[in-house]
């Protein structure tokens, strides 16, 4: 087992990895940018090293700085989390060259899966179903011809794309040329690579992904699926496991296909094979994420397997601790990503100081938080402050438990999307499992107005009482300037209001 692991990340995933290490008796090394000196992951780690200015391009993304700290701190392995350097083959390679274990797949697997066109070809070779589409396309004529052959609607996709960038839906021939220019320029500016290809657009698609684990001894297993159809701007918002999109036959088949996909690149570590599923439960390979996924906790809740620990054990060369037949789904788990954003104002980001934080507890509730009361959520990183998961014996129980947990979850000082989650979880289409990736744009028209007389009364009563006490306090301090302030009720609240907009 490793002696000391460096976590090349921040926020909740850094805390998640630190917890796994602690449970394995491994020391942890945190790295932090100037904006993160007071961040939670720095507190939780045994060791902590500064790595530069707030922008991640000058800190968390700088391979040399991470490796320097690894060497200084005596770390024998690096866990990259997700995002940042987690899917950069050069980083994986640089780790090996520095004699430090990269907790993740080999650079070759990252490279193969990182290039969409290569991945597609490998998958076709391995008989993994892919969305009908093309190889890399050349000039405009070739693009138009390919689109007509596949049949509109089609998706134009950047070959180096990912995370929702460099994609465009083209509904009819007339739109093709401007879409082509758009994708190429976005691909060039975002990835430095303007190659693109094309896929058939799957209508009412659902996003279902399969978790896999592979060890260094050639064993690869899957841990069933997660459904991530609830997305906004291609960012997942709510995930669940199992999926309501597929029946048990398709589920088993999809698991087998995911294992085949991973085998095709001799995959080692934790990875996720993403599929598009259509209304007939046909599924098509979309891409493979060669890292731990944000939404991994719901798989842990349903299968009972600690995926981050599995990653670490695999990286030490241990064979998988669990075999395929022992992997069983039990119950249902849902994850709501708690974002610092305002669902009432087009999801504008809402960084700032968390003045009040009360997290839910009790049975079946899991909170993976990256923040604490009193911390100022910085503007430099993504707005996810926590992942709230609910587990239940049935999907209905998981939904009801999540609603209960959301009700207990109090965050003040910044605005969060908690009210959005409540809206989504009570939407008839969500309740019935009738989802697709267009759900939010189709259904969300802002938060419902709740005209509630009782609610208004409580708000008014609370404000009036606070005002009354403020006045009383003022009156007393005037009449007895030497009076101890401790004798006065402290109804008057200060400070928190500073952070309220």
Q: Which residues lie near its own copies (CB under 8 A)?
A: 15-16, 19, 22-25, 297, 300-301, 304-306, 309, 321-322, 328, 330-331, 358-359, 361-369, 372, 391-393, 397, 400-401, 403-404, 407
Instruction: Figure out which of the listed residues 89, 223, 406, 424 binds another protein, where binding follows CB under 8 A.
Output: 406
Residue 414 CB, nearest approach to another protein (Å)? 10
Task: Note whether 287 and 157 are within 8 A (CB).
Answer: no
The one catalytic residue in 120, 251, 291, 422 is 291
Interface region with another protein, contact rule CB under 8 A, candidates 267-275, 279-287, 359-367, 464-472? 464-472
366-385: contacts with another protein (CB under 8 A): 372-375, 379-383
497 is catalytic: no
Cα(301)–Cα(333) distance, integer angstroms = 6
Residue 356 CB, nearest approach to another protein (Å)? 6
Alpha carbon 353 to chain centroid distance? 22
CB nearer to its own copies: pick between 316 and 369 = 369
Contact partner at residue 297 from another protein, its own copies, none, CB < 5 to 8 Å by partner kind = its own copies
Q: Residue 191 burial (CB < 10 Å; 0-12/13-18/19+)?
A: middle
Angle at 256 between CA 250 and CA 260, to 5 degrees: 135
Residue 382 CB, nearest approach to another protein (Å)? 5
Task: Note whether 330 and 304 are within 8 A (CB).
Answer: yes
323-342: contacts with another protein (CB under 8 A): 340-342
CB nearer to another protein: pick between 150 and 230 = 230
37-96: contacts with another protein (CB under 8 A): 37-38, 42-49, 72-73
Residue 30, CA distances (Å) to 13, 25, 40, 308, 493 in order: 12, 16, 10, 16, 36
Cα(494)–Cα(36) distance, integer angstroms = 26
**Across-strand partners of 200?**
154
Pairing assessment for the beta strands 410-412 and 356-358 based on DSSP bridges: antiparallel
Residue 97 CB, nearest approach to another protein (Å)? 24
**Across-strand partners of 334?**
240, 390
Alpha carbon 416 to chain centroid distance? 16
CB nearer to another protein: pick between 326 and 475 = 475
Contact partner at residue 464 from another protein, its own copies, none, CB < 5 to 8 Å by partner kind = another protein
Cα(134)–Cα(196) distance, integer angstroms = 9
CB nearer to its own copies: pick between 133 and 364 = 364
SS3 string of 53-74? CCCHHHCCCCHHHHHHHHHHHC
CB nearer to another protein: pick between 165 and 263 = 165
Residue 40 CB, nearest approach to another protein (Å)? 9
Instruction: Figure out which of the listed residues 141, 428, 484, 501 binds another protein, where binding follows CB under 8 A.
Output: 501
Contact partner at residue 38 from its own copies, another protein, none, CB < 5 to 8 Å by partner kind = another protein
User: Which tokens hold the place of 140?
Assistant: 């405009």
Residues near 124 by beta carbon (within 8 Å), at least 6 away in sequence? 130
Supply the residues annotated as catalytic: 291
């Amino acid at each position: 087992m490793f002696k000391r692991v460096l976590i090349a990340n921040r926020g909740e995933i850094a805390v998640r990895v630190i917890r796994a290490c602690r449970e394995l008796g491994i020391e942890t090394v945190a790295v932090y940018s100037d904006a993160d000196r007071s961040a939670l992951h720095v507190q939780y780690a045994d060791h902590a090293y500064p790595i530069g200015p707030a922008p991640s391009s000058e800190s968390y993304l700088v391979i040399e700085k991470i490796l320097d700290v690894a060497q200084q701190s005596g770390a024998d392995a690096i866990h990259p989390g997700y995002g940042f350097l987690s899917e950069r083959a050069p980083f994986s390679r640089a780790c090996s060259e520095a004699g430090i274990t990269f907790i993740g797949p080999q650079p070759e697997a990252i490279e193969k899966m990182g290039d969409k066109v290569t991945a597609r070809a490998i998958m076709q070779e391995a008989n993994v179903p892919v969305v009908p589409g093309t190889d890399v396309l050349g000039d405009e004529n070739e693009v138009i011809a390919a689109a007509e052959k596949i049949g509109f609607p089609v998706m134009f996709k950047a070959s180096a794309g990912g995370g929702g960038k460099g994609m465009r839906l083209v509904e009819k021939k007339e739109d093709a040329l401007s879409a082509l220019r758009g994708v190429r320029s976005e691909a060039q500016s975002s990835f430095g690579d303007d190659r693109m290809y094309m896929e058939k657009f799957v209508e009412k698609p659902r996003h279902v992904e399969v978790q896999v684990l592979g060890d260094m001894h050639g064993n690869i297993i899957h841990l069933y699926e997660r459904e991530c159809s609830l997305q906004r701007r291609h960012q997942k918002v709510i995930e669940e496991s199992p999926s309501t999109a597929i029946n048990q036959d398709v589920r088993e088949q999809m698991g087998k296909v995911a294992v085949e996909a991973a085998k095709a690149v001799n995959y080692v570590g934790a990875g996720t094979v993403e599929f598009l599923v259509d209304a007939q439960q046909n599924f098509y390979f979309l891409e493979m994420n060669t890292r731990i996924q944000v939404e991994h906790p719901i798989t842990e809740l349903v299968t009972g397997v600690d995926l981050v620990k599995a990653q670490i054990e695999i990286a030490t060369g241990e064979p998988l601790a669990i075999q395929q037949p022992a992997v069983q789904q039990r119950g249902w788990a849902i994850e709501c990503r708690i974002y610092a954003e305002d669902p009432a104002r087009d999801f504008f980001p809402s960084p700032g100081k968390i003045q009040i934080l009360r997290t839910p507890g009790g049975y079946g509730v899991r909170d993976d938080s990256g923040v604490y009361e009193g911390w100022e959520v910085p503007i430099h990183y993504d707005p996810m402050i926590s992942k709230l998961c609910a587990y239940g014996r049935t999907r209905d129980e998981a939904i009801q438990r999540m609603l209960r947990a959301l009700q207990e979850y109090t965050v003040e000082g910044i605005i969060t999307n908690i009210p959005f989650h409540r809206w989504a979880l009570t939407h008839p289409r969500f309740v019935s499992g009738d989802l697709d990736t267009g759900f939010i744009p189709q259904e969300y028209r802002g938060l419902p107005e709740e005209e509630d007389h009782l609610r208004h009364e409580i708000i008014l009563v609370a404000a009036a009482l606070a005002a009354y006490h403020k006045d009383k306090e003022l009156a007393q301090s005037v009449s007895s300037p030497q009076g101890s302030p401790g004798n006065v009720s402290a109804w008057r609240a200060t400070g928190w209001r500073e952070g309220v907009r």
